Amino acid sequence: MRILNKRLFNMLFLILLIGAVSSCGNDENNENEGQGSETIPVQKGESNTISLQDQLLLETNICNDFILDSTNRDLSCIMDTHFIALQKDSSLSNGFILMTKYLNNEIQTLRTYIFQRMEDDSLVMINDFDAILVSSDTISSGYCDILIRFVEPFKEDKFYYNCWFTYSFEESKYVYRDCHSINRESKNGNYLDVYISETASTEYQIQTNREVFELLSDYELIH
C-alpha cells in the first residue's frame, strides 16, 4: 500500500471532498435528510443513535480488516469519510462509494472503496482502489462513472494517473475505462501535465490506456 506524505495527504483529502461532488447520486449530506428511519438505536457517546453512514461503516467492519464474522466492531480507526450513493436517486444503504482516511495498523491510509447491497441483503465490497476519488459523472445506466487519481512515486518525481472507471453489469463491479490525464510532480513541488487524452492522437490514447492499466495492475493499485 502506498501512503502519501502527510502534508499532501491532508491537503488532498480536504480539496477532493469538494471536487468529488455527488453528481452521480445522493451525497452524505442529502442522505441525512429524510432518512431518520435508517438510523439504529445503539449507544455512541452521548447520542442515542448513530448516523446511516456510521451504521454502514460498522457493517463493513473497516476498522477490523473487513472481517464480517467478527463481533468486535468499532469506528476508532476512522479519521475522515465521504460517501456518494452508488446509483442516482438511491439510498446509501443500497450501495455507496466511500473515500476514507483511516488508521491501518497505525498508518494514515487514504483509499476509495465501493460497496453494493446484494439480493441476500449482504453488503459486498466490489472495488478497492489505492487511490483518491476525484470526480463522478452520471451516465444513462444510473451508475456513475468515477475519476480516480493514483500516485506512482519515484526517487525523483511522482506521477499521478487520473483514470475513468465505469460500472460493468457483466462483471458486477467497476472496470477501467481509460486514462484521462497524467501529471508529474517534481522534487521541488512543481506540476506538469505529461499526458492529456483530449489532445492526444487516437493511436497514442490506445497505447497510453493499455500501458497505464498494466501499470496499475502490476502495482496492485486496483482490486
Domain boundaries, the chain: 6-218
- How far is residue 79's CA from residue 75's CA, in Å, rounded to a whole number? 9
- pLDDT at position 218 is 93
Contact 176, 146 (CB under 8 A): no
pLDDT of residue 194: 96
Q: What is the pLDDT of residue 44?
A: 38
Q: What share of the chain is helix, strand, coil (3-state, %, to 5)?
A: 25, 40, 35
Ramachandran assignment for 33, one of left (phi > 0), alpha (psi -120 to 50 degrees), beta (any other): beta
Pick out the chain residues at pLDDT < 50.
Answer: 1-18, 21-22, 29-47
Model pLDDT, residue 15: 45
Please tell me the predicted confidence (pLDDT) of residue 21.
47
pLDDT at residue 182, rounded to an integer: 97
Question: What is the rounded CA–CA span in Å between residue 190 and residue 193?
Answer: 10
Distance linking the first and last C-alpha atoms of the chain: 12
68: cell is 464480517
pTM, full prediction: 0.80
